[in-house]
A and B are shown apart, each in its own frame.
Chain A
Amino acid sequence: MIEFLKQPWPWYVAGPLIGLMVPALLILGNKTFGVSSSLRHICAACVPFDISYFNYQWKKETWNLFFVGGILAGAFLATTFLLNGQPVNINPNLVTELGKYGITDYHSQVPMQLFNWQQLFTIKGFILIVAGGFLVGFGTRYAGGCTSGHSIMGLSNLQMPSLIATICFMAGGFIMANLILPFILKM
């Protein structure tokens, strides 16, 4: 059993399990599945100043902070007890492409050759980590949700705005990954 769990889970196991988060949170207490609003609650709790967008009763939303804390803890548990140490098995074309930029280590969830403290102080690392993170936070709030809130919860509830948002998420990703990222990785 544990050996089975230690293998990567195929999409047809993982996808339905992720989908079940939607009814689970609704039934646990009428909560809408979504992660990016936690970033807003953190702003509201720590640095609201007099910005009206952050002056609301964030304490009513603490469930969301427990949820993201759980995500962090769950990822730690899975990494510690449920991984078999095998590198991620990706398309050989991508291996060839990334090899050209010196990315050869596939043992972590992120390429450790790019996402480390030394790289953070290079232009490449700054763009990937700091600028990338900023765009994620700014963009998800501007769009009113992220992959969980729009693409999974919103689409499950047949919301047209969520479909538009999801198409734009993908379009932005395609443009960045194929047209811009190669120049950044060449740096």
Chain B
Amino acid sequence: MMNTGEAIIRDINTNTDFEVRSLDEMSFNESTLQHPWWYNLKYLVAGILFGIILVKSEVISWFRIQEMFRLESFHMYGVIGSAVVTGMISIFLIKRFNIKTAYGEKIKFYPKKFHKGQIYGGLIFGFGWALTGACPGPLFALIGTGALVIIIALLSAIAGTWVYGLLKDKLPH
């Protein structure tokens, strides 16, 4: 009796979890392997490299973002364009040669579903991008560069995410 009850509760939890997450394509947990916490340190290292690249390429510069939106420089388009081409070739090779993860798991890809949020949310994010000169990655990076007032922008972005979560069912999707 106890066991059945627990199983049902566990089932409900996993199902809800799946439903909630399946609505948000960016939040899948692809790996089914369980690792101790320090396995996450490799993502810290990946983040450090990404942070260095963001600073050195000047893509976190508010000035570079303004240039991009005024079509006054090729720099940002070159960075994003060549990043996409590199990513495309990488994913093609992973699929073509069935490359596995470092732990031998199959690498999974999830198709994204279209919904109106990509239009409305996309435009809203674009407004914010041109104001702060930063998308989410650069918000973290800018704090690292010593622009400490960006901590407020990051907290505000977290608040924005929270308000989205609150209003989600009332918004057109």
Which residues of A are in contact with B by a Cβ distance under 8 Å?
Answer: 5, 8-40, 42-43, 47, 51-57, 60-64, 66-79, 82-83, 88, 90-91, 93-94, 98, 106, 108-112, 115-117, 119-120, 127-162, 164-178, 180-181, 184
Supposing A12-B82, A115-B150 touch, asked if A75 and B145 sit within 8 A by C-beta, the answer is yes
Which residues of A have CB within 8 Å of B96?
none
Most buried by A among B60, B74, B137: B137
Partner of A66, one of B47, B81, B115, B133: B47
Within the assembled complex, what's the spacing in Å between the Cα atoms of A9 and B61?
A: 13
Q: Assess the A8–B46 pair: CB atoms within 8 A.
A: no
Which residues of B have CB within 8 Å of A148?
135-137
Q: Assess the A110–B43 pair: CB atoms within 8 A.
A: no
Q: Assess the A71–B144 pair: CB atoms within 8 A.
A: yes
Q: Interface on chain A toward B: helix, strand, loop, or mixed SS? A: helix
Chain B minimum-CB-distance residue to A6: B56
User: Least Cβ distance of A44 to chain B in Å?
Assistant: 9
Within the assembled complex, what's the spacing in Å between the Cα atoms of A33 and B145?
A: 22
The answer, yes or no, to whether B8 is at the interface (CB within 8 Å) is no
Q: Assess the B128–A75 pair: CB atoms within 8 A.
A: no
B interface residues, tally (CB under 8 Å): 131
Within the assembled complex, what's the spacing in Å between the Cα atoms of A13 and B17?
A: 40
Chain A minimum-CB-distance residue to B114: A161
Q: Assess the B113–A161 pair: CB atoms within 8 A.
A: yes
| 20 additional A-B residue pairs with CB within 8 Å, beyond A24-B46, A75-B60 | A14-B59, A16-B86, A19-B82, A31-B43, A67-B44, A71-B54, A74-B49, A75-B143, A79-B144, A133-B159, A136-B135, A139-B128, A140-B135, A146-B137, A147-B135, A151-B80, A156-B91, A168-B119, A172-B127, A173-B69
Which residues of B have CB within 8 Å of A29?
31, 33, 35, 39, 42-43, 101-103
Q: Assess the A135–B44 pair: CB atoms within 8 A.
A: no
Q: Assess the A156–B112 pair: CB atoms within 8 A.
A: no
Interface residues of B in 19-74 (CB under 8 A from A): 20-21, 24-31, 33, 35, 37, 39-70, 72-74
The answer, yes or no, to whether B98 is at the interface (CB within 8 Å) is no
Q: Assess the B24–A70 pair: CB atoms within 8 A.
A: no
